[in-house]
Structure 1
Amino acid sequence: MGTELVALHWVYLIFIFLILGVMVMRRDTTLVCIVGIFVIGLIVKGSITSSIIGIFNSLIYAITELVGTILVISIIVAMSKVLAETGINETMISPFTKLMKNPSLAYWTVGLLMMIISWFFWPSPAVALIGVVLLPAAVKAGLPALGVAMVMNLFGHGIALSSDFIIQGAPKLTADGAGIPVGSVISASVPLIVVMGIVTTVTAFYILKRDMKKGILKVEGNAKDYKEQNNKKGEMSIILKRVFAVVVPILFLLDVVAMYTNDLRGGDATALIGGTAAFILIVLSMVKDKKSGLENITAYLVEGLQFGFRVFGPVIPIAAFFYLGDSGLIKVFGEVLPSGSHGIVNDLGLALANTVPLNSAIGAITTAGVGAITGLDGSGFSGISLAGSVAKLFGTAIGRGTATLTALGQVAAIWVGGGTLIPWAVIPVAAICDVDPFELVRRNIIPVVIGMVATIIAAIIII
């Protein structure tokens, strides 16, 4: 590994399990995260004052990393409010309502559209592109908002992001780590993505339908909210509603074209969607409210920002802690790791790889474990190069299967951290659907774990 595990690594690992345990118990994790940051600061700095300063700086770092997502979600929410108040939203979704005749059709329609758009432009812009339109249609069809969030998350941040067939950012990183061609990783990932995708989404669908049938998960509250929103019509003629119902999707479609022609990805693509939403908000507010439009633009934005920070508030402390597992530690506390360290999370992943015997079954399980552990920092991408390196280690020792192991590590890291099992990684979907991100993660756990077990078995067979 180039460095031994020190007290810092073990303390970080202990707090990971504490946080996961608190989440499983459905309790708030803020206290555990803040204490964890303080203890880490005390270990690396040996000063109570520096540790207290580190708590604040780690929160600032987390907010800085998340502010782009907070802002674009806030603007989208503000725009959505205007669309709902004017009735444009209802006019715009009517074609999708005809397609989504029941919860089952809504589930698979939303999922497939989310997957296709995410392949081309990554999930975060896709959430903003289709969430506003498809969420009300799906809820009206009888699919709870939490179910909509699940399907968008699993198909977008799960299947599409972990495969990344079009943009190829993920396979490029893992291929470089393993020292093999990108094409080899993509080819090897196809059967694994198919197994992971089918098992996970079908399992989630079964659990969702079961809980709806038992009355555990209900749609009435969300349907009522949408009904109330759609009854608050602004002063706008039917003709104008129909015009804007056509213009708004066209503007977002033009965004899609611009993303493709200008090769916009990630943050730039999200910013384009956010800027377009801001433009739509301004125009609609001026048309709807006329003389009071100037003031109402600000009011809508403030309301959107209040929503954004209300949703992100509980997530910022836990994000602040897990960011310390990667580059956040240096940003907050400086160069405090031993020489040769690759970051706390990567060191733990590499230590795991170095403590198990080498054969195909253990190789697949360990590579997936390393990927999952590196995904705990919430990005899904920071550790996949390490997953590729570990895959090469096992592939070389076994004498085969390097590409398959590399793809498996990629799938595990991104499904966990990219992601479907880390609360702040699901924030965009949770915010658009107005559901609790922690509850969304809890809903995702069983399908994703079952899917991962099936995928590991498939990898062992292929190797």
Structure 2
Amino acid sequence: MELTASQIAYFIAILVILILLLMRKDIILPVIIAIFAIGLLATKDVIKAIQIIYTAILVSGIRLWHIIVIISLIIAMSKALDDIGADVILTKPFIRHLKSPTYSFWIIGLFMMLLSFFMWPAPAVGLIGTVLIIPSLKSGIDKVSLASIVSVFGFGIALSGDFFIQGAPSITAKAAGINTHQLVQNILPIWAVSSVVASVSLYFCVLYTSKHHPPSEYVETKPIHGRPVSFKSYTVSVIAVVLFLIDVLIMILFKIHSSGATALIGGTAIIVLIASAAIQENFLDKTRDYLREGFLNGMRTFAPVIIISAFFLLGETSMAKQVIGPHARGYLVDLGTYLSHHIPLNKYTASLLELAMGILTGMSGSGFSGLPLIGALAKTFSSAAFLNPALLASIGQLAAVWTGGGTLIPWSTAVVSAVIDVDSRKISKRNFIPAVLGLISAYIVTVILL
């Protein structure tokens, strides 16, 4: 297999973007230039290349729209609850338990992980993110650390295993030609070791930060018991908690997950927003204002994410065909095929290739988009080198989800960034060491087990 000019340009663009990220430079302009260059090389048509810039951004926006909507609704609901004093009410039960950074770290992390197992992390972060900000700050954890805890335990640890909903394992297993149960059994020890390594290393990072950079500026500007709350506010706050608990119960009993779980949380958020506005003066105007503010904040957060995702989604075959044309192929898919044809296979190289392909496909910002390729490569590599396909698929799945699921790269952490109001680049920087150490440990365990 020979690489085309557009494929080479795509790979060079990835390297340039990674270098700029390491230099802490903005990558929006390079991403737009890269989309144009790839479109021009693929079509040999300047007009078509100009159109591809718009089409790529449009398709990316359409794919992200459901996330933008749920986050915007949660931000709007959070603002409404904040105005009626619900933050004072809802944080009281947590204060006595979140006594220190250590207590806060493990309580918040494990709670996020458990919720994410049953309802996936995107709805979970909306449920607990805003409620836990003030108690965590009072305990000595800054907002960046809180965002990092939520993303690592939810979007990293819980989503990479996905043992209860089994969305990720089912996709990977199907492409690898094995059953889901077999994949889950094989991924469990790899997942356990990587999760422990990642969580413990993050714990020490957070502990170091809390000792040397206490979040006093946040605590002083927003005291917990700074204003009185009415009986109506208590009632709405309790109703909000009860409604979301009912949502969790419904998701578990009726096995509602993914887009269904997001829709349930989103609808509930609107109901809570309306209830919060109804006990205030000019509630009709308040309802409009909250929704407008929520969507303005949501779009402000996701605008750069849409453009960056437009480039990396070209790595998917379906996206490339939709944007460039029916003859196009996913550039990341082609890279995986190229590498597999030029590297001798054994348990070390096969595991490394699966790890690398998981990371590369995860760079699209979707931890799941590359799973079919991960499974297919595991099937191919296992046949060529007589290795366990489930173990190979496991390391690839972990790498893909940790990278693109919402932990390692900035444009995948937008959900947590929007809810907790933290720059996504800061979250990724804080997550980098724990995530990388987790993936390295996963690779070592995979090689040992093969």
TM-score range, shorter chain: over 0.9
Partner of 2:298: 308
Matches within 5 A, 1:325-404: 325-326=315-316, 327-337=318-328, 341=329, 343-404=330-391
Counterpart check, 1:259 vs 2:251: yes
Comparing 201-210 with 218-227, which one deviates more in the overlay? 218-227
Q: CA offsets per residue over residues 439-460 of structure 1, 9 Å max, x none?
A: 2112211211111111111111
Partner of 1:132: 130
Give the TM-score normalised by the residue count of structure 2: 0.95
Counterpart check, 1:221 vs 2:212: no
Partner-residue secondary structure (3-state), 2:222: helix
Structure 1 contact 248–280 (Cα < 8 Å) conserved: yes
Partner-residue secondary structure (3-state), 1:358: coil
Matches within 5 A, 1:411-430: 411-430=398-417
Matches within 5 A, 1:184-203: 184-203=182-201
Q: CA offsets per residue over residues 219-270 of structure 1, 9 Å max, x none?
A: 123324433x97466xx52x22332232111000111122233432212211
Q: CA offsets per residue over residues 271-317 of structure 1, 9 Å max, x none?
A: 2111111111111111122xx11011111111111111111122221
Matches within 5 A, 1:45-444: 45-215=43-213, 218-227=214-223, 231=226, 237=230, 239-289=231-281, 292-326=282-316, 327-337=318-328, 341=329, 343-444=330-431
Shift of 1:28: 0.7
CA distance in 1, matches of 2:220, 2:399: 38
CA distance in 2, matches of 1:132, 1:317: 27
CA distance in 1, matches of 2:246, 2:268: 10
CA distance in 2, matches of 1:258, 1:328: 34
Which residue identity does 2:413 align to in structure 1? V
Question: Runs ≥4 in structure 1, deviation > 3 angstroms?
Answer: 229-233
Which residue identity does 1:226 align to in structure 2? K
Comparing 392-401 with 247-256, which one deviates more in the overlay? 392-401
Shift of 1:211: 2.9
Q: CA offsets per residue over residues 185-239 of structure 1, 9 Å max, x none?
A: 1011111111111111111111222233233xx4123324433x97466xx52x2
Structure 2 contact 232–279 (Cα < 8 Å) conserved: no
The unaligned stretches of length 5 or more in structure 1 are: none
1:329–1:73 CA distance, 2 compared to 1 (3 A): same
Q: CA offsets per residue over residues 336-383 of structure 1, 9 Å max, x none?
A: 32xxx4x21111122222221121122211211121112121111121
CA distance in 2, matches of 1:458, 1:260: 32
Structure 1 contact 158–420 (Cα < 8 Å) conserved: yes
Q: CA offsets per residue over residues 371-417 of structure 1, 9 Å max, x none?
A: 11121211111211221222223323333332211111111111111
1:115–1:407 CA distance, 2 compared to 1 (3 A): same
Q: CA offsets per residue over residues 306-337 of structure 1, 9 Å max, x none?
A: 11111112222111111122132222222132
CA distance in 2, matches of 1:459, 1:225: 48
Partner-residue secondary structure (3-state), 1:133: coil
Shift of 1:157: 0.8
Aligned length: 449
Comparing 190-199 with 375-384, which one deviates more in the overlay? 375-384
CA distance in 2, matches of 1:293, 1:245: 17
The unaligned stretches of length 5 or more in structure 2 are: none
Partner-residue secondary structure (3-state), 1:288: coil
Structure 2 contact 236–275 (Cα < 8 Å) conserved: no
Which residue identity does 1:116 align to in structure 2? L
Comparing 439-448 with 191-200, which one deviates more in the overlay? 439-448
Which residue identity does 1:333 align to in structure 2? I
Shift of 1:179: 1.0
Comparing 100-109 with 135-144, which one deviates more in the overlay? 135-144
Partner-residue secondary structure (3-state), 2:20: helix
Structure 1 contact 44–336 (Cα < 8 Å) conserved: no
CA distance in 2, matches of 1:417, 1:176: 20
Shift of 1:31: 0.6
CA distance in 2, matches of 1:213, 1:278: 39
Partner of 1:454: 441
Structure 2 contact 73–270 (Cα < 8 Å) conserved: yes
